[in-house]
Structure 1
């Protein structure tokens, strides 16, 4: 018996000795075999100008090489058409209007929701070395757990030996500022791209300026492609290519007029190509070049990378992984829905939401009187924007080219396959009634489920929701739903909803009155029977913005000159976001469309406001700074 026990002990010890190294090796193997992931992002590139996505585009051989053993996503979308808002969706995995990260540029940063971190933090927990070279540009408070390194010198080479890494490399060559050339520069610096080698899109005038802008942009895209090649070569040099997923994508839409900053396909539809290393084919379900026409968007990037890395995917993300364990590319290829949003762009305000489903795009313009072409200083540094506006004012554009400077419809429906530049609104066509009704319902469900915080004015969110926007939205969801319902009254005949509009205008809730006024501006002359109520609000409402919105209605319908009311409201304002919204209305009212005269005095504007860069832009445009 003693001998048996001794033999058993020896066997047990040997078992422990033999198994321990095996377990350790297994752990090392698992650690080493995690794939590296590299993102190469280029600024301001929609898919429309790359030949691999569009016949009218330019060749990009280095990006094309990634597809040789990889996946081309033909329907990839940014959720917003500008960098800080798009990048906030990427880094958080959450829709911007849900967490108050939807404004560009931020006046105040917002926190991540409780219990959720920016996704690279989960990669670090899983053993990854995370680096960013080097643009962040988030509207969200970053925290210390996101990057091991974030700078122009950040590199995967500083990681521990055999440590897997996630690396982001940002390419600036195609940024909008690259088209801020002068007429003299245009005349003296010919482009490499032949100015007659492409078609001008139908909503643009076919002029020398637009052809030069198109050609120069294509030159910049080829410069960007060369930078992509440099990153690929660095990975080859370090013998890492066959261990590394490489994502290439544009960070939102392009820089030609009406793209960046606008919720059209040229502002949202981005190129996405992913190189899948052969040893990780099981994670990408690809053995050769694959084409995916299913819809993916930036909101899906965080869960996708976490899934590829085998890292924790936290509850509460809005996106859905499209690569990695347990992902079937055939299922991904069936995905056919994506959402997008647009609010403030620098000093220019708007509020638009959109859904793309299959070949159809539905756009909901909540303030359609804020036409696309309202002055935005940074946009109008481009000669093409300036020329576009001048040609419109001279009456030299056709209807499609003129649409940028005219009021939009509250609802727009486009067939993207037959009308890729969204020039023919199908919303009133009886043939598309069922489609538009379905998409309207889907979009309403989405904005209500978030819930969409933009139904409160930005300054109010800064004052009341900034510490925990998600919780604020949860606690005030019934109010937000009511504001959404009021905003949608304009989609009915006025006579059928008149009493509901009156109820909103006479509510004790200031933001019900606010949305009731916007609804009246959308109805225009149809709401003239409510003029006395609106005039009373314009002169007596305790809320500064409501007096402005009421004056805006009176100005739009030519009932009363809005300049005195709006000027007084600006002088009374001490909040940058509120003042910006007032200035947006002032710029609209003094535009050639309405031509009201404003005599603003700089000394009467709060000194605190003038420190804000976007307010400075507005005041410079109005020639009072």
Structure 2
């Protein structure tokens, strides 16, 4: 009897277990597919011209509509103010001066750091369909497996059924070249934007030409917004809005004079909106339609996309994810720092670094005698640039408007909230001394810890470091930190820096000598006591560029016409990037600030040098190459 009962009970248990298992299988949710992700980038747009971000801007209804179903990032920054350098930071997630991608246009491409890949590769390996339409413009060697397709025909629609996609769409209508109109064009092409509907920024002259340029630029942004609308419409018609994150952002700052190419907010602070799809709102902790005030930078984009896709973020990436289920709203809004860098843009050399923390912006100019307005051929195709310089030469600008053509201070501190166009340098104001020291230390720590490869000249990096820039930086970190300390001597009183400069000028390391000469040039007349030592270097230093830097110092302090030393050094150079750096000093010395005369003969320049496209821009400007 009991045996039969046990048999019945056992059968009932089996039936119940099967039923529970069946119910469990039926109710268990299917594994969630990762979200689709679309990037819409617009070229050459800072946040200052869209009303969504700035009262002086215009309405962009399609971008504004996107924001209603997503998030507005009011503190989004490019790490560099020009396209190839900015895009290299985006695709790698790394700071350019650490990995050697900081020069625009590239005279040499660099590999990705060891074991790190361009981030779409990780998406592709995880099953994503990756497409780019269509600009790449990296200073990094593109490895295999980044894109399934990268062309003007690339589309997410060619993926396999149920395959998630990552798609990039680039809008170029507002590119700097759109401002290369002629005087005749200004007279014949009316603008959609009323020329009296906005304010001219305070460092610009308030002229008819600047008003027209502002209005036309805003017209280009209107057209860009219409193109954004077309892409959104296409996604909607394809039934993708509910499962696709849509990022809209500018690829760096705007193109009005003094913006693109410079580490001011108009060159770095970009508009950014992220549409959050209904199906994946659990991946975002912030309220839909809200504004994120936390700082995000371009190096953060790669880890953010990987995080949203559920892919582990490689430790070699410098950035930090700002979206994903593990990112808390309070923590995101507390982020308040961004770093930026500017080196060579086309044929024009400079070396500037910046950090913004909260409302304060600190800009460190390592070669402050290279004033902002130093000739750059492409910039000066814009009539507004030409007029700005002409008005300066004629003495018709006020102090704020003239600053672009004057020697910069080695360090500048701005309260961006109170002074959004960075016109009032607070570095010498005793009330801000503690802020200045804090920001100075923060910037110095950053360049040392990267370490920043730009403390070597570009031609040396091409020859010695660009096979593996990140590894070279690690190996030579101590030397780079020493160069930074020598460069920072010009932040001291000269009497406090004098002994260290004297020692560095005698160093057996050519790059210690290099930075000591540059520091003396920044001191200018205060460093006249170094004249005899630097005069000797101008003729005898083993490095051509050190002879040129020595002659540059002597030219700045009006003790020697630098033309002979610089010209002969140019003739000796066999390296295009070295010759280009020499020519930067030639253009500075030839400019209205100094007015030294040069007689450079084309047939005395190395053929390898003379045939380089960037060198030719300088030769054409100097009327050496017709």
Same fold by TM (over 0.5)?
yes
The alignment partner of 1:333 has SS state of helix
- Counterpart of 1:116 in structure 2 is 116
- Counterpart of 2:424 in structure 1 is 424
Deviation sequence 1:134-183 (CA, Å, 0-9, x none): 00000001111111110000000000001110000000000000000000
Determine whether 1:348 maps to 2:348: yes
- For residue 297 of structure 1, report the CA deviation from its aligned partner: 0.5
Q: Distance in 1 between matches of 2:289 and 2:538?
A: 62
Q: Distance in 1 between matches of 2:95 and 2:448?
A: 13
Q: Gaps (5+ residues) in structure 2? A: none
- For residue 312 of structure 1, report the CA deviation from its aligned partner: 2.0
Aligned runs of 1:65-464 on 2, under 5 Å?
65-464=65-464
- Counterpart of 2:623 in structure 1 is 623
- For residue 34 of structure 1, report the CA deviation from its aligned partner: 1.2
- For residue 286 of structure 1, report the CA deviation from its aligned partner: 3.8
The two structures, once aligned, show a CA RMSD in angstroms of: 2.0
Q: Gaps (5+ residues) in structure 1? A: none
The alignment partner of 2:75 has SS state of strand
Aligned runs of 1:509-528 on 2, under 5 Å?
509-528=509-528
Q: Distance in 2 between matches of 1:285 and 1:243?
A: 17
Deviation sequence 1:274-323 (CA, Å, 0-9, x none): 00012211112244301111111101000001000101211111111110
Q: Distance in 1 between matches of 2:211 and 2:508?
A: 54
Q: Distance in 2 between matches of 1:586 and 1:65?
A: 51
Aligned runs of 1:6-17 on 2, under 5 Å?
none
Q: Distance in 2 between matches of 1:287 and 1:199?
A: 33
The alignment partner of 1:273 has SS state of strand
Q: Distance in 2 between matches of 1:497 and 1:350?
A: 23
- Counterpart of 1:597 in structure 2 is 597
Q: Distance in 1 between matches of 2:368 and 2:585?
A: 13
Q: Distance in 1 between matches of 2:174 and 2:365?
A: 29
Q: What is the TM-score of this pair, normalised by structure 1?
A: 0.96
Contact 2:245 2:276 in 1 (8 A): yes
- For residue 74 of structure 1, report the CA deviation from its aligned partner: 0.5
- Counterpart of 1:489 in structure 2 is 489
Q: Distance in 2 between matches of 1:532 and 1:105?
A: 37
Q: What is the TM-score of this pair, normalised by structure 2?
A: 0.96
Contact 1:322 1:329 in 2 (8 A): no
Contact 1:322 1:332 in 2 (8 A): yes
The alignment partner of 1:41 has SS state of strand
Contact 1:278 1:287 in 2 (8 A): no
The alignment partner of 1:294 has SS state of coil
Deviation sequence 1:32-56 (CA, Å, 0-9, x none): x311000000000000000110111
Q: Distance in 1 between matches of 2:530 and 2:616?
A: 36
Deviation sequence 1:360-396 (CA, Å, 0-9, x none): 0000000000000000000000000000000000000
The alignment partner of 2:402 has SS state of helix
The alignment partner of 2:31 has SS state of helix
- Counterpart of 2:31 in structure 1 is 30
Contact 2:131 2:148 in 1 (8 A): yes
The alignment partner of 2:414 has SS state of strand
The alignment partner of 1:247 has SS state of strand
Q: Distance in 1 between matches of 2:221 and 2:253?
A: 13
Q: Distance in 1 between matches of 2:587 and 2:498?
A: 29
- Counterpart of 2:546 in structure 1 is 546
Aligned length: 616
- Counterpart of 2:536 in structure 1 is 536
- For residue 125 of structure 1, report the CA deviation from its aligned partner: 1.5
Contact 2:276 2:288 in 1 (8 A): no
Contact 2:99 2:470 in 1 (8 A): yes
Q: Distance in 1 between matches of 2:255 and 2:499?
A: 44
Contact 2:285 2:325 in 1 (8 A): no
- For residue 448 of structure 1, report the CA deviation from its aligned partner: 0.5
Contact 1:70 1:286 in 2 (8 A): no
Q: Distance in 2 between matches of 1:329 and 1:232?
A: 27
Deviation sequence 1:329-383 (CA, Å, 0-9, x none): 2211110000000000000000000000000000000000000000000000000
Contact 1:276 1:286 in 2 (8 A): no
- Counterpart of 1:41 in structure 2 is 41
Q: Distance in 2 between matches of 1:125 and 1:385?
A: 47
